[in-house]
Amino acid sequence: MTPYPITTLRRENQTLVLENVGLKKLAADYGTPLYVYSKAALSEAWQAWQVPADRPIHICYAVKANSNIAILNFFARQGAFFDTVSQGEIARVLAAGAPAHRVVFSGVAKSVKEIEFALNEGIHCFNVESLAELDRLHAVATRLGKRAPISLRINPDVDAKTHPYISTGLKENKFGIDHTEALAAYQYAASLSGLNIIGIDYHIGSQLTSLTPYLDAQNRLFGLVKQLAEHGITLEHIDLGGGLGVRYRDEVPPTAASLVEQALNGLREAGFNHALMFEPGRSLVANAGLMLTEVEYLKPTQHKNFAIVDAGMNDLIRPALYEAWMQVVNIDEHDASAVAAQHYDVVGPVCESTDWLAKDRELAVQAGDVLAVLSAGAYCMTMASNYNSRQRPAELLVDGSTVHVIRERDTLASLWADERIPE
């Protein structure tokens, strides 16, 4: 197993290089904290999902994982579909150059305004999560003189064996329609003239490292498809969701190809000829990115050592939010005789006890060093905030030896640019 989950990252002359660009120079030129993505790693992740098949397979990139329009534009040019959960995400996808007919709209709380926007833009499909949403979609579509293309998101009550905060397929989760109520929901949808039933879908969670939950949910869904056909409800596509895990430390998740092949085999055995859809996010971008952060101080105490860095939970919230483990490495190697390795908690400047990036990590580090937090391409910058009136980091895209600034760092003035003092 390679030392880094980012395959385009390597160490040359005792310093880290991403593709053909040294990370030390990027930190010096653009400052820290700083997000850096590898175009080659994005391409590698996309190609992993390209499996020859006897039917259409649409890979819908989950925009919430990383919504920078340069990343969206990259996937749009590959022919990706897009899984969105808000009007803002739909607008981002369109601004990035993707056509509306490659957009799927998920989410449990679609507003009238969002539905109107999506219908007028002509998106591919609404993934519907409740009977109340069916009523709202029907009413809005009828008023606009349109028919809303829909797929019902089924909650299969399958344990994804992942962190409870990122599980979405159990009956106690807020997502989807209970599988035991699915037939009645489809029959009700078929009675509404403003709706056009085209699919069925599920999504059971994120960072899945075994095919077993997928197959359990898939079998339950395929059973429903047969039941629907027996009642005269035919579908164009089956959407098997996303959630495929990635390697952060020592995980060995299934490959995208194995997941697609299992689905194709299941379709053939069932005699189905539906198009397939998948909604990967993390597996496409997580290991295409990293965050750079500078060590401001070392603070030894009687109980533990702290490496205090300039990046905080507002820049990268995953560890604080659900105790995510992310590899942290010094971009420069020190001579062991000069700097001894010790165990550190890597913590940030935000005034919260939960402001940490890593705990109990063995690092040879001194003040002024730059650390790289790996696997930071998904659910990191996209969840950043200005808490403590901190400027969100810049984002860079490395392409060979070329560096593109794909988002400028916030300025101080931008922190209050939309605020007003009453007269």
**Both 66 and 189 in a single domain?**
yes
pLDDT in tens, 6-53: 999 999 999 999 999 999 999 999 999 999 999 999 999 999 999 888
**Both 255 and 317 in a single domain?**
no
Query: How much of the chain exceeds pLDDT 70, in percent?
Result: 96
Roughly what angle, to the nearest 10 degrees, separates helices 182-190 and 211-230? 50
248 is in an annotated binding site: no
Of 212-221, 338-347, 382-391, which gets the smallest average pLDDT? 212-221
**Both 31 and 143 in a single domain?**
no
Is residue 403 domain-resident? yes
β-sheet bridge partners, residue 125: 104
Answer yes or no: is pLDDT of 193 > 80. Answer: yes
How many other C-beta atoms lie within 10 A of the C-beta of residue 211?
16
Roughly what angle, to the nearest 10 degrees, separates helices 112-121 and 87-95? 30
pLDDT band, residue 170 (cuts 50/70/90): very low
Residue type present at position 274: H
**Both 379 and 402 in a single domain?**
yes
Which pLDDT belongs to residue 165?
42
pLDDT in tens, 174-184: 567 888 899 99
Of 190-199, 208-217, 375-384, 401-410, which gets the smallest average pLDDT? 208-217
Structure-block tokens of residue 421: 């003092």
Which pLDDT belongs to residue 210?
86
Q: Which residue in 60, 125, 351, 380 is the catalytic one? A: 351
Q: How far apart are CA 354 and CA 346, in angstroms?
A: 11
**Both 176 and 293 in a single domain?**
no
Average pLDDT over residues 261-273: 90
423 is in an annotated binding site: no
**Both 64 and 138 in a single domain?**
yes
Length of the chain: 423
**Both 94 and 207 in a single domain?**
yes
Among 1-5, 48-52, 365-369, top mean pLDDT goes to: 365-369
**Both 246 and 291 in a single domain?**
no
Q: Is 297 helix (H, G, I), strand (E, B) or coil?
A: strand
**Of the residues 252, 279, 306, which one is the last residue of a structural domain?**
279
**Both 220 and 297 in a single domain?**
no
Q: Which of 374, 368, 284, 287 is nearest to 329 (CA)?
A: 374
Average pLDDT over residues 151-166: 66
- If one compares 321 and 175, the residue with the highest pLDDT of the two is 321
CATH assignment at residue 120:
3.20.20.10
Q: How far apart are CA 340 and CA 366, in angstroms?
A: 10
Average pLDDT over residues 57-75: 98
Is residue 353 domain-resident? yes
Which pLDDT belongs to residue 161?
53
- If one compares 1 and 9, the residue with the highest pLDDT of the two is 9
Of 93-97, 121-125, 169-173, 411-415, which gets the smallest average pLDDT? 169-173
pLDDT in tens, 67-107: 999 999 999 999 999 999 999 999 999 999 999 999 999 99
379 is in an annotated binding site: yes
**Both 24 and 153 in a single domain?**
no
Is residue 4 domain-resident? no
281 is in an annotated binding site: yes
β-sheet bridge partners, residue 32: none
Are the C-beta atoms of 7 and 44 separated by less than 8 Å?
A: yes
Is residue 44 domain-resident? no
Answer yes or no: is pLDDT of 134 > 70. Answer: yes
CATH assignment at residue 401:
2.40.37.10
Domain total in the chain: 2
- If one compares 326 and 177, the residue with the highest pLDDT of the two is 326
**Of the residues 279, 307, 333, which one is the last residue of a structural domain?**
279
**Both 134 and 208 in a single domain?**
yes
Is residue 187 domain-resident? yes
**Of the residues 236, 254, 279, which one is the last residue of a structural domain?**
279
Structure-block tokens of residue 57: 């397979």
Answer yes or no: is pLDDT of 162 > 90. Answer: no
279 is in an annotated binding site: yes
Answer yes or no: is pLDDT of 407 > 80. Answer: yes
Is residue 263 domain-resident? yes
Are the C-beta atoms of 390 and 310 separated by less than 8 Å?
A: no
What mean pLDDT is reported for the chain? 93
Strands (DSSP E) found in 39-77: 57-62
Average pLDDT over residues 192-210: 91
Which residue range(s) make up the domain with 353?
A: 9-38+286-415
- If one compares 227 and 216, the residue with the highest pLDDT of the two is 227
Answer yes or no: is pLDDT of 159 > 70. Answer: no
Answer yes or no: is pLDDT of 167 > 50. Answer: no
Answer yes or no: is pLDDT of 299 > 60. Answer: yes
How many other C-beta atoms lie within 10 A of the C-beta of residue 252?
10
61 is in an annotated binding site: no
Q: Which of 228, 231, 263, 229 is nearest to 244 (CA)?
A: 263
Is residue 1 domain-resident? no
β-sheet bridge partners, residue 371: 293, 330
**Both 179 and 324 in a single domain?**
no
243 is in an annotated binding site: yes
Answer yes or no: is pLDDT of 160 > 80. Answer: no
407 is in an annotated binding site: no
pLDDT band, residue 203 (cuts 50/70/90): confident
Is residue 243 domain-resident? yes
351 assigned to active site: yes
Which pLDDT belongs to residue 158?
67
Dihedral sign computed on CA atoms, order 341, 347, 349, 353: negative
pLDDT band, residue 166 (cuts 50/70/90): very low
- If one compares 156 and 123, the residue with the highest pLDDT of the two is 123
